[in-house]
Amino acid sequence: MLENIKQLKRKIEAKINPLKQELRQIIVSHSRFTSHPQNHFTLQGYELINNFWPQEECNRLISLANLYLKDESYVIDGNCYLICRKDVQKIDTKVQVITNIQEIDNALNQFFHNGIIEKLFEERIGYPMKVKSLRLQVDNLDTKTKRGFHTDGLGELYKAFIYLTDVDEYGDGPYTIVPGSHNHKYRHIFNHLYNRLSIFLTGDDSYPRGDMSFFYSNKKAISFFGKAGTLILSNQQLAHKGWQQHDRKKRYVLVCDVVPLKNYNGKPMTLGLKEIQTNSNHNIVIQ
């Protein structure tokens, strides 16, 4: 009897201890956000910059992406690989992403190292930043499996999105966010607890941990429209999504993953790579 109680206690602790760490990470991240200098980006969580990149470079990257796109995930070369999300998850199944594309293109490798993106974030946040990866993402038409409002992970993570195609209408799949929601600490905690409870009750560990099922709706959101070359700076603790009724034309976008320099481990992104190499499907969720 005593041994059964001890086993139960260990099982409960195995569930509770990670949750404590996750909640602590949410609290620490929000504490960091409140310590940032006050400007449009830190208060609202986003900033849009028109005409950041020339049309010619956008066209070149679209052609580059088309060279490597296939119907299934594969390693392109070294740390560069194509993820077809249908191969590894049940949501956003029409999305294809070439990860670490800076490793197979000289111009993007120079862009990766030139510090332009880091400087934009540093000017707004106030401390050193580092681009961790460049990803070329293709969102094909999808009205059935688009993920709802969510956040990326639990820590301090930023992205710079560069539209490579014109995003003129909702049917083009615009990036959509709820302004200022990165500062909603208690709403984040509530949603995270709900997600964790769902995982516990269903036994489905693939349930997306970052889903923001409560408090957020399209009525509170804004969508970013813009021509090819438009840049969007984004705090990924914003409640965000790709527009759910993506039914007009596919969207190409260059995604720059950015982290505080103190959190950068010097290693390339590998999310989803193991599943490709082992030909396994663990229903992970690619952010």
Average pLDDT score over residue span 71-91: 92
Better-scored residue on pLDDT, 64 or 153: 64
Q: What is the pLDDT of residue 131?
A: 97
95-139 confidence digits (pLDDT tens)? 999 999 999 999 999 999 999 999 999 999 999 999 999 999 999
Better-scored residue on pLDDT, 79 or 17: 79
Token representation of residue 193: 């607890």
- How far the first Cα of the chain sits from its last, in Å, is 45
Distance of CA 52 to the CA centre of its chain: 21
Q: What is the pLDDT of residue 190?
A: 93
State the average pLDDT for the chain. Answer: 90
| Check whether domain 2-277 has CATH 3.40.50.300, yes or no | no
* Helix residue ranges, H only, the chain: 2-35, 40-44, 55-68, 106-113, 116-125, 185-202, 273-277
Flag whether the pTM goes above 0.85: yes
Q: What is the pLDDT of residue 9?
A: 60
Helix (H, G, I), strand (E, B) or coil at 101: helix
Give the Cβ contact number of residue 220 at 10 Å. 14
Give the Cβ contact number of residue 70 at 10 Å. 10
CA separation for the pair 195, 177 (Å, rounded):
20
Decide if pLDDT at 240 tops 60. yes
Decide if pLDDT at 285 tops 70. no
CA separation for the pair 217, 149 (Å, rounded):
8
Backbone angles phi, psi at 199, to 5 degrees: -65, -45
Q: What is the pLDDT of residue 22?
A: 85
